[in-house]
Amino acid sequence: MKNWVQFRIARPTDKFEEVINFYETGLGLKRIGEFHNHEGYDGVMFGLSDAEYHLEFTTHVNGSPCPAPTK
């Protein structure tokens, strides 16, 4: 029997459409979920088929709640 673990990396972004285009069109990841206007947030999740992990990106109507990471 396999022990299932799901791992998610979530990041806010002010470049929501550009991020979607990069991961969906550029890298070919499958959009596995999305949500709209959840307390002001929109989000999209990307992953690979049968993968135990996914990436989530969010954007807020008032902009990012935190500064972008530095280089």
- Strands 53-60 and 41-47 turn out to be antiparallel
How far apart, in Å, are the Cα atoms of 12 and each of 1, 29, 49? 36, 18, 24
User: What pTM does this model have?
Assistant: 0.80
Domain edges within the chain: 8-60
CATH number of 8-60: 3.10.180.10
Task: Give the per-residue pLDDT at 6.
Answer: 76
Give SS3 for 26.
Answer: helix
Mean pLDDT by groups of 10 residues along the chain of 71 residues: 73 92 94 94 88 89 75 58
In whole angstroms, give the CA distance from residue 44 to residue 62.
17
